[in-house]
Amino acid sequence: MTYDAIVVGSGITGGWAAKELTEKGLKTLVLEAGRPIVPEQDYVEHVPPWEVKFRGLRDRRLQREDQPIQSLCYACDEWSSKFFVSDKEHPYTTDEGKPFWYLRGRQVGGRSIIWGRQSYRWSDLDFEANLRDGIAIDWPIRYADLAPWYDYVEDFAGISGEALGLPQLPDSKFLPPMELNCAEKVVRDAIAKHFGGERVLTIGRAAVLTKDHQGRAACHYCGPCERGCITRSYFSSLNSTLPAAEKTGRMTMRPFSVVHSLSFDARTRRVSGVRVIDAKTRASVEFRSKVVFLCASALESVRILLNSSTTEFPNGLSNSSGELGHNLMDHIKGGGAVGTIPGNEDRMVLGRRPNGTYVPRFRNVKKKDAAFLRGYGFQGGGQREGWQRGVAQTGFGPEFKKLVSQPGPWRFTFYGYGECLPNHANYIELDKEKVDARGIPVLKVHCAWRENELALRDDMAISASEMLAAAGAHNIEPLRGFEPPGSSIHEMGTARMGRDAKNSVLNAFNQAHDVKNLFLTDGGAMVSSSCVNPSLTYMALTARACDYAVQQLKKGEL
Ligand SMILES: Cc1cc2nc3c(=O)[nH]c(=O)nc-3n(C[C@H](O)[C@H](O)[C@H](O)COP(=O)(O)OP(=O)(O)OC[C@H]3O[C@@H](n4cnc5c(N)ncnc54)[C@H](O)[C@@H]3O)c2cc1C
Ligand code: SF4
């Protein structure tokens, strides 16, 4: 059967591509490697610890054997580990001494079920960064190209947050912000007083509804969003874009469809088929369409292209530039600080707000004011220590019971997320020896933090400690840990956009320079990494690319 469009993957970007293409009239097949998800059965956000087998402490033996990498992620717990891949079935390799955490979801909805929902626009500080610093290549677009598409995706997704009017972090079209708690207000006010407006603390900008929106209900603050959300209060493709695509009657969702590779017709210079291994029957099937959107995530989409070599493209389809797989980036973290905020001992929080605080980038914003390039922002927040702190304390009997039955002091933590520079030497390739459970060559990841990223991380510890000191915090502990590439789960850059086919894989509309009916709109397209979470930008790029592809189809150009 022939379709107008094929979308590979149904996570954040695949969901958007499915919605946009079907709403614009295209008969669209969505090929998703993982299983279907039925919210009424699979979502577990309201299941209490006493109803799960290991009371929330996980089956540690199983996790060690089946998910040794995935379980490194805070969100991969006894409830939501089912939304992460099996490392046994989906291995990858790295260089000795150069770890990379590859954290993935493989089901309808992809990682949109488990993501942290932090949603920030990028600015021209980001889009002009490579040009300004003479690093890698220039972005082929600027903020003005994407601004209407940010508006567009935000209108549908629903982003709550506070407008600040900062040039380095443009405001979104916001739903009302969530409230800061009392400790966060102490820290916010101290930062405003001591840093001359240069540093600002605000509530996180999150794809979580603070009022009913687009037929979805406002969040009721139950807390563990990575387990699903039956009221559809946060944005995920399952909660939002896929139902919209379904409603058009033009989407065919095909779960258990592992895309192996693409076939290329050298005569028409187009993708002529998408080869699939059925994950249940192991049969090989091929599908055809006028246009193909790769939305399988930055590494998996490129894996498909690397696995689609032809005589003309021996190192991966659409790789005439030699950049396919290269310039892999993530955000550096591990830097920050934690401290005790005195006072407010008579106050507690009500509910479990699924959001934290944010300090937008303040280094190298108006002028170059640090020894390193680029900058970082801080996520984090304040909370009262609970009874668990007693676990670390010695004692027994009535005194101990009394101690642990009272809440502890307010603590505040800053976690930095820093920009990673694009570097040709950070790359992925197909492993020549190892295959996954379906017999497809796995990825070999070569990636390491370099001097600039580590300098950012060290500076995070200093500036976060300064802000805690300004807020009168006690027991300030600077954080300067090593967290390997991949651990921020913002992998990107492996099929970058650019103006010139000689040094980039995609053009300014996410269309492959070498193969006109092929689009790739996930994180692979990014040319630099900014320091803010990337998924909102992937959404905007995807919606924009779909609009362009449909126009081109109508003109008969594809
Ligand atoms: C715990 C966690 C917290 C996060 N927090 C944030 C955050 O706060 N803000 C933010 O911006 N980002 C966050 N992220 C990152 C965010 O989830 C990703 O950037 C986003 O999901 C990427 O979208 P995608 O469509 O490219 O990939 P995914 O959402 O991963 O979807 C890819 C889909 O493709 C499918 N697929 C893969 N290979 C194939 C194949 N060969 N054939 C068919 N289908 C295939 C997969 O099964 C999957 O469903 C977080 C991620 C995690 C795990
Ligand atoms: S906290 Fe809000 S968004 Fe998260 S699962 Fe609960 S209701 Fe949904």
Alpha carbon distance 374, 197 (integer Å): 19
The pLDDT value given to residue 2: 81
**DSSP secondary structure string, 141-160?**
--HHHHHHHHHHHHHHH-EE
Tokens of 184: 């966060």
CB 131 near ligand 2, within 6 Å: no
> 497-517 in b/e burial notation, b at 16+ Cβ within 10 A?
bbeeeeebbbbbbbbbbbbbb
Nearest CA residue ID for atom 2, ligand 2? 219
Question: What confidence score (pLDDT) does residue 396 get?
Answer: 79
Kindly state the percentage of the chain with pLDDT values over 90: 94
State yes or no: pLDDT of 316 exceeds 80.
yes
In 3D space, the residue among 5, 11, 10, 12 whose CA is nearest the CA of residue 29 turns out to be: 5
Burial of 135 (0-12, 13-18, 19+ CB in 10 A): middle
Return the pLDDT at 495.
98
Banded model confidence at residue 402, pLDDT cuts 50, 70, 90: confident
- Which of 43, 79, 221, 353 best tests ligand 2's pocket when mutated (most atoms within 8 Å of CB)? 221
Give the residue among 251, 254, 275 at the shortest CA–CA distance from 263: 275
Q: Is the CB of 233 under 6 A from ligand 2?
A: yes
Q: Tell the residue nearest (CA) to atom 6 of ligand 2.
A: 222
Tell me what the mean pLDDT of segment 401-413 comes to: 87
* CA R_g for the chain: 23
15 close to ligand 1 (CB < 6 Angstrom): no
In angstroms, the Cα distances linking 308 to 214, 262, 265, 311, 510 are 40, 6, 12, 10, 19
Instruction: Please name the residue that has the structure tokens 């933090």.
Output: 449
Strand (E) or helix (H) holding 66? helix 60-66
pLDDT confidence of residue 532: 98
Count helices and strands in the chain by DSSP H and E runs: 12, 18
Provide the pLDDT confidence category of residue 362 given band limits of 50, 70 and 90.
Answer: very high
Model pLDDT, residue 390: 59
User: What atom of ligand 1 comes closest to residue 532's alpha carbon?
Assistant: 11
Mean pLDDT, the chain, as a whole number?
Answer: 96
Per-residue pLDDT reduced to its tens digit, 445-486: 999 999 999 999 999 999 999 999 999 999 999 999 999 999
* 66-75, 354-363, 396-405, 407-416: segment of lowest average pLDDT: 396-405
- The predicted model gives 125-151 an average pLDDT of 98
For residues 142 and 220, what is the distance between their CA atoms, to the nearest angstrom?
A: 37
CA distance 470 to 193: 9
Percent of the chain, pLDDT > 70? 99
Q: Contact 115/76 with Cβ under 8 angstroms?
A: no
Give the pLDDT mean for 201-215.
97
Residue with tokens 């001097």: 451
Could you tell me if 261 and 304 are in contact, meaning their C-beta atoms sit under 8 angstroms apart? yes
What phi, psi does 31 have (nearest 5°)? -100, 115
Nearest to 417 by CA among 329, 328, 331: 331
pLDDT at 327 over 90: yes
pLDDT of residue 395: 74
pLDDT, position 242: 98
Q: Is the pTM of this model over 0.95?
A: yes
- Backbone φ and ψ of 293, nearest 5°: -110, 115
Can you tell me which atom of ligand 1 is nearest the CA of 73?
Answer: 1
- Residue type present at position 203: I
The verdict on the CB of residue 296 being under 6 Å from ligand 1 is yes
